[in-house]
Structure 1
Amino acid sequence: MIKILLNLIKLSPQRRKLYSLLQSITGSYPNDLRIFELSLIHKSSMLKLDDGTILNNERLEFLGDAMLGAIVAEELYNKYPDVNEGFLTKTRSKIVNRAFLNETAQKLGLNSLISSQSKISLEKTNIPGDALEALIGAIFVDGGYASCRKFITSKILFPFVNLNELAHQDNNFKSMLIEWGQKHKHNVQFITDEIPGTVEHAPVFVSSVEIDNIVLGRGEGTSKKESQQNAAMEALQNVSLRNKELT
C-alpha cells in the first residue's frame, strides 16, 4: 500500500487519474504506468522519439494476443476434458476474435482511454479490441503470468462469457445474414473497399452491407473477410432492432 501511495504522489493529476482508472479496469494497481500508457497508443497516434524509436501498442498487442489465446486454451482444456481438438479450437476462436474483443473493451470502459486518430468511430473499428490485447500484454510485462491470467479470467471470461452457451453458438455473421436474406426474400449485398497501406501502416478494408439497397451495416478490418464479418454483425443488430420496432 505504501508503494502505491508513493507512486500516486509522484504522478501528475492527469496520470493519477489514469492510474486509478486502470486499477478499476484491471483490478490491480500498475507497477510501471508507462507500459500501460503505451498499450493505449494506437499506431495512428504513434509517437516518434528523437532517436527514431516508434512508440505504439503493436508489440504489446502481439504479446497480449498470444497470452489471451494460451490462457483461454488452458481454461477450455480444463473445462472440457473429453472433447477433441477441433471443438476446443472452434470454441476458442469464438472468444479470441475481434468482434468479442471490441465489445469487451467497450464494456470495460477502455474506449475512452485509447489514443487514436482513426477517422471512423472506434465502435466501427478493431482498435478497441487491439488495445485490449495490448493491455493484456502490458499486464503480463508488468505483473507476470499470474496477474495476466487473473485479469483474463476474472475480468473477461467469467463476467462476459458463458462457455457452455458459446460452445454451441454460431458466430459466422456473414453466413447468418445471407441465410436470413434468403429466408425472408431480401437482397443482401456486400461492398468492400481497400484503403492502401503505407510503409508503417498495413492496408485497411472497409465494408458495407446493403439490404434492399439500404446500407444497414459497416465494418472495418485488416482483411476483406474480417471487415465483412464486422459489417454483417452490425447489419444483423440493425435488422433485429427494426423487427422489434415493427412488432
Structure 2
Amino acid sequence: MRADNGGSAASLPFLSLIEELDVPLDADLLDLALTHRSYAYEHGQIPTNERLEFLGDSVLGVIVTEYLYRSYPDHAEGQLAKLRASVVSAVSLAMVARKLNIGPMIKLGKGEISTGGSDKSSILADTTEALIGAVFLSGGREAAERLVHHIFDPLVDHAATLGAGLDWKTSLQEVAASLGLGPTVFDIEESGPDHDKRFAAWAVFGDRRFGPGKGHNKKHAEQEAAAAAYKALTAEPASAGPAGGDA
C-alpha cells in the first residue's frame, strides 16, 4: 500500500489513525506498548513495552526495507541503507510520535513525568516501535504494513530527495576525505537543566570551526554543524585546503 504525501489521516492522533485505517489493535497489547519501564518499576515490576519495542523495530525495518527495494530500483545498496537509517532513526520515530500525539498516552513513572519524559525523543521512539509491534501481533503483517506504509512511505520519499542532506555527517566525511582533511572532530557545549538540555556543536578541522549547530540532543546539533561545514567546504575553490578562517 503506497501512502499519499501526507493525507489528512497522517496528522490524526494515533488511536484515531488506527480507527481510520481499520487496523486491529488488542487493548491489552496497546496498554503494554504504552508501559514504560519507569512506570513498571513503580507498580510492582509489571511487564514493560521493551519486548514489543524489540519486535516493532524489526517489523518496521523489514517493511521500510521492502518498500525501498521495490520503489527505488536504481539505488545502490549503500543509498538504500542511508535512506532506511534516516527514516527509522530515533529522531524520525520521535517526530512521528509527536505528530501522532503519542507522548501523553505513555505510562511513565513519577521521575520521568517530572523531567518531561513524555517528550523525550528516546522514549517517544521506543514507544512508537512498541506500538508497531502491538499492531503486528494484533493483526499480522498486513495490519502492520497498512500502518507503516501510511506513516513512513512519505518520509522515505522525502528523504530520497535530500541528497547530501540525508546525512550531513557522512556527506561531510566524504568531502573532507576528498580535500585531504582529517576526520571530523565535534566540539560540544551543553547548557540547560537535565529535563531541558540544549546542545551546541562545531565541526572542527585543525584551526577551522564550522557552526554552531544547535539542538535538544547531540546528534541533532552535530548534524547541523556538519551541514554548515559541508556547505562551506563545497563552496570553496578546489585549491582551498584545510587552512583558512573560521566559518
TM-score, length basis structure 2: 0.61
Q: Which moved more, 1:80-89 or 1:27-36?
A: 27-36
2:165 aligns to what? 169
Q: Please state if 1:39 is matched with 2:22.
A: no
2:88 aligns to what? 96
Give the CA deviation at 1:46: 1.6
The alpha-carbon distance between structure 1 residues 73 and 97, as it changes in their structure 2 partners (threshold 3 A), is same
The question of whether the paired residues in 2 share the 8 Å contact of 1:94 and 1:100 is answered with: yes
Deviation by residue 1:24-52 (Cα, 9 ceiling, x = unmatched): 132335452010111111112126887xx
| Corresponding residue SS for 2:125 | helix
The question of whether the paired residues in 1 share the 8 Å contact of 2:83 and 2:166 is answered with: no
The alpha-carbon distance between structure 1 residues 123 and 162, as it changes in their structure 2 partners (threshold 3 A), is same
1:115 aligns to what? 107
2:152 aligns to what? 156
Deviation by residue 1:192-227 (Cα, 9 ceiling, x = unmatched): 7xxxxxxxxxxxxx773268xx995332xxxxxxxx
Identity across the alignment (%):
31
| Corresponding residue SS for 2:160 | helix
Deviation by residue 1:94-130 (Cα, 9 ceiling, x = unmatched): 1010111101110011112111232245434311111
Give the CA deviation at 1:133: 0.5
The question of whether the paired residues in 2 share the 8 Å contact of 1:68 and 1:152 is answered with: yes
Q: Please state if 1:229 is matched with 2:219.
A: yes
Q: Which moved more, 1:136-145 or 1:123-132?
A: 123-132
Distance 1:216 1:22 in 2: 29
RMSD: 3.6
The alpha-carbon distance between structure 1 residues 84 and 134, as it changes in their structure 2 partners (threshold 3 A), is same
1:218 aligned partner, one-letter code: H
Deviation by residue 1:66-107 (Cα, 9 ceiling, x = unmatched): 011100000000011132211111111110101111011100
Distance 1:116 1:234 in 2: 31
Q: Which moved more, 1:63-72 or 1:154-163?
A: 154-163
1:69 aligned partner, one-letter code: G
1:70 aligns to what? 62
Give the CA deviation at 1:146: 0.4
Name stretches of at least 5 consecutive residues in structure 2 with no aligned partner. 1-12, 173-185, 191-196, 203-211, 227-247
The alpha-carbon distance between structure 1 residues 215 and 88, as it changes in their structure 2 partners (threshold 3 A), is closer
The question of whether the paired residues in 1 share the 8 Å contact of 2:33 and 2:48 is answered with: yes
The answer to which structure, 1 or 2, has the higher relative contact order (CA under 8 A, 6+ apart) is 2
1:190 aligns to what? 188
Q: 1:217 aligns with which of 215, 218, 222?
A: 215
The alpha-carbon distance between structure 1 residues 28 and 47, as it changes in their structure 2 partners (threshold 3 A), is farther
